[in-house]
Amino acid sequence: MTDRSHSPSLASPSNPRIRAAARLRARPEREASGMTLVDGAREIRRAIDAGVEVIEAFICEPLLAGEDARVVLDALRASTTPVNSTSETAFAKVAFGSRTEGLVAVIKIPSLKLDRLEVMDGPLIAVIEAVEKPGNIGAVIRTADGAGADAVIAASPRTDLMNPNVIRASAGTIFSARIATAPTDQVRHWLEANGIRIVAARVDAPRSYTDADLTGPVAIVLGAEDRGLGEGWSGPDVEAVRLPMLGVADSLNVSVTAAVLLYEARRQRDRPTHEG
């Protein structure tokens, strides 16, 4: 795993392939190319497991560590995917975040079109509107995976779902999740067309979430960190719910709100019928 005698094939940080990959940190470049970066062995492993197309990979042998890294390398080397050994200096151009495991992949972005999202029977869906922080978006996707939600939809997102930091914060669960993105009006229309009830988290809602029915086809809608839900989520067919706020703060982090609501939905869905 730490074969330092191995001569890196890409030693210079100004190598054109390193520079091309590094440019994928920028959203316009991701959107123009249809590609993004995945940093981390666990994340790349989950991309491969989900059948995502890996275009090329960069490895930095001295940094490689862990079982996931070994599995990923074996899978990549058994495939036709180009695997580029790099120097630490070159690797630093494509890696990001505080923790690095010596593996970064360039992948093809899967379709995120809402009209391609498969409608499940009686689905539990998380909708996040205009959320900006990649860490929060990724955390919602990871929690939705744990709680068994059927899909996560980003309505009018300020950060694209394929931002490398979203992928990282999702722990790679984004690849197996059903995800889509569309403007808020289209998301709302899609929910209505598919007979999915809308339960919106609002700090000023009169009703506690524990009094809401979160069974059946339901979308839990969460607004941005700084401004909450927009006007697109009002009307008689939107049920607003709040979390009790018993301390000095007036709101919770959006990923925390999502976790409480999604796991309450899971609890209600799993409990024996007619229990209170």
Residues in touch with a copy of itself (CB under 8 A) = 46, 49, 139, 142-148, 171-173, 176-177, 210, 243-249, 252-253, 255-256, 259-260, 263-264, 266-267, 270-271, 275-276
Nearest distance, CB of residue 44 and a copy of itself, angstroms: 13
Match 């086809």 to its residue by tokens. 217
80 vs 273 by CB, closer to a copy of itself: 273
Q: In this structure, what token pair is assigned to residue 272? A: 């024996």
The residue (of 197 and 242) whose beta carbon lies closer to a copy of itself is 242
Nearer to a copy of itself, 89 or 176 (CB): 176
Residue 125 bridge partners (DSSP) = 151, 219
What minimum distance in Å lies between the beta carbon of 50 and a copy of itself? Answer: 8
Q: 121 or 231: whose CB is closer to a copy of itself?
A: 121
> Where do we find the tokens 């093809």?
108
Q: Are 261 and 220 in contact (CB under 8 A)?
A: yes
CB of 22 to a copy of itself, least distance (A): 21
Question: Is 88 strand, coil or helix?
Answer: helix
Least CB distance to a copy of itself at residue 59 (A):
23
The tokens of 155 are what? 């309505």
Q: How far is the CB of 177 from a copy of itself (least distance, A)?
A: 7
d(CA 196, CA 183): 17
Q: Pick the closer one to a copy of itself by CB: 231 or 270.
A: 270
Residue 247, phi-psi category: left (phi > 0), alpha (psi -120 to 50), beta (remainder): beta
Measured from the CB atom, is 206 or 235 closer to a copy of itself?
206
The residues with which 179 forms a beta bridge, in sequence order, are 152
**HSE, side-chain direction, 13 A CA sphere, residue 196:** 25
Distance CA 263, CA 251 (A): 18
Residue 161 neighbours by CB under 8 Å, 6+ apart: 112, 137, 154, 174, 179, 181
**Whole-number minimum distance, CB 101 to a copy of itself, in Å?**
13
